[in-house]
Structures are given as C-alpha cells and as structure tokens.
Structure 1
C-alpha cells in the first residue's frame, strides 16, 4: 500500500503493553524509523510503518529478534 508516495507496511504483533510500546519507541528511534504506530486496542496489535527506506523482512527480523511476534498483515 502507498500513501503520498510512501510505502505503508502493516504487521500483526503481540506489542500489547505500554512497556512494550516504550521499548518499540526506543527500537524504532535507534533504527531511524520515525513514522510508526501500534494499535494496542486491535486484536492483532497492528504495527504500521510509513517509509520508503524500510523493507518488510527487515522489520519482521528486527521486531522478532527482540522477542516479539511480528508477521505481515494481509
């Protein structure tokens, strides 16, 4: 999916708590991912990233290597 020329990546995760979200904030900052959200109210805890620099498989690997579930939401 694209918005204003940027790719929108959607993932199903288990980022459920505020401490999970805070950890993700630090992780995303560390990897220069500035446009992201996680919907903790959604059953799939949807992680949404808007970027042209980040690849789908890179996000899955990054989030997974820190102990969270992460898969492409189709």
Structure 2
C-alpha cells in the first residue's frame, strides 16, 4: 500500500467533485482531507496509483495540488 500526501487548496464545496473524480481511479483505497491544516492536506491510500494521476485529476478541476515529500 502506498500513501500519497498533497498540499491543496480544497474547500468543502469541492467535496462532491472530488468524490466523483477520485472514486473511479484504479487502485484507490481511501482518501481524506485535513481541513484544520492550512495546506488542506489530501492523504490518499492506494495500490499503485501514481501521484501524477491524482495531481492531473485535481488540476482539471482547477484545484491546486502539489505532492509533499
């Protein structure tokens, strides 16, 4: 299992879009957002889901997304 962590500019209004976008991604196990963190950290648990796929999908929704290492 891989854990991917991203800095985002997500808002509560993005949740329906985010759920709809992430659900069909192959290998996705679960995801969560830390709403109390100023970086709105998105944590994705997956089996072989490349971080570039998550970044691309969020950027298509006009959501800023940067992988944290």
After TM superposition, the score normalised by the length of structure 1 is 0.80
Larger Rg: 1
1:30-67 deviation per Cα after TM superposition (whole angstroms, max 9, x unaligned): 32534001112110000100011310111111111110
Correspondent of 1:15 among 10, 16, 19: 10
Correspondent of 1:48 among 23, 27, 43: 43
Task: Tell me how large the CA RMSD over aligned residues is.
Answer: 1.4
Higher relative contact order (CA 8 A, sep 6+): 2
Q: What is the correspondence of 1:1-74 to structure 2 with a 5 Å cutoff?
A: 6-16=1-11, 18-32=12-26, 33-74=28-69
List runs of 5+ in structure 2 lacking aligned partners: none
Q: How many matched pairs?
A: 68
The list of structure 1 runs, each at least 4 consecutive aligned residues, that deviate by more than 3 angstroms after superposition, is none
